Amino acid sequence: MFTGIITDIGRVLETEQRGDMRARIATAHDPAGIDIGASIACDGVCLTVVALGREPENWFAVEISAETLSRTNLSQWGAGWRVNLERALRVGDELGGHIVSGHVDGLAEVIAMRDEGDSCRVTLRAPADLARFIAPKGSVALNGTSLTVNEVAGREFGINLIPHTRAVTTWGDVTVGNLVNLEIDTLARYVARLQEWQKAQG
């Protein structure tokens, strides 16, 4: 379980195909504090650590299935790609964002960006089957970052990025046309499911 508060920007050192795709990611986190089998959210995708090392710098390795590649933007990864990282939530940690599972629901397309004061207003288009779960003032995880929805119009929704968010995440790299990993709020999913069940009951 995660909170959508990014704790490091990693960098892909290399990728290779071993049946599944394997990626080695440089990180500021000390490998001594990471266990093999630990979960780390990489651009919002919960991945399992399968190897660790310190040369040429601190790194961990993950394996990414074809199913994950088909549902996320991780197929774009290559050497030098910057990645939002978040370690799994521990008991007693502050819940600064919202509950994030690391199970990406689909891809949202960035369709507009404009400056508003020091911040940046971003408009995205969600897949049709996910748009109904996105509500104004609700939460979404985009590339693993917990963000508040400002407005919704059909499949389109807007978020606001303050300078701090752009500085400590990869959102400073995002441009119009990019596809970003979208995880809808778990609470929104259950509310919608409850409404469907109540309607079915008549």
Residue located via tokens 């917990």: 146
* Strands of the chain, DSSP E: 8-18, 20-26, 39-42, 45-53, 59-64, 82-87, 106-116, 119-125, 139-142, 145-153, 156-161, 179-184
Distance CA 182, CA 109 (A): 10
How is residue 56 annotated by DSSP? S
Q: Which residues contact 136 (CB under 8 A, 6 or more apart)?
A: 149, 150, 151, 152
Amino acid 151 reads: E
Q: Which residues contact 134 (CB under 8 A, 6 or more apart)?
A: 126, 140, 149, 152, 157, 184, 188
Give residue-wise pLDDT tens across range 130-151: 999 999 999 999 999 999 999 9
Which pLDDT belongs to residue 98?
Answer: 81
Nearest by Cα to 30 from 47, 14, 53: 53
Residue ranges of domains in the chain, CATH in brackets: 8-87 (2.40.30.20), 106-200 (2.40.30.20)
Which pLDDT belongs to residue 155?
Answer: 97
For 26, 47, 109, 120, 125, the CA distances from 129, given in Å and listed in that order, are 35, 25, 14, 27, 12
SS3 percent helix, strand, coil of the chain, rounded to 5, is 20, 45, 35
For 74, 122, 200, the CA distances from 36, given in Å and listed in that order, are 21, 37, 45
For 54, 62, 92, 165, 197, the CA distances from 29, given in Å and listed in that order, are 11, 15, 20, 19, 44
Give residue-wise pLDDT tens across range 62-79: 999 999 999 999 999 999
How is residue 88 annotated by DSSP? P
**Mean pLDDT, contiguous 10-residue spans, the chain (202 residues):** 93 93 97 96 98 95 96 96 92 70 96 96 96 93 97 97 97 97 83 72 73
Give residue-wise pLDDT tens across range 15-34: 999 889 999 999 999 999 99
Burial (CB < 10 A; 0-12, 13-18, 19+), residue 143, is: buried
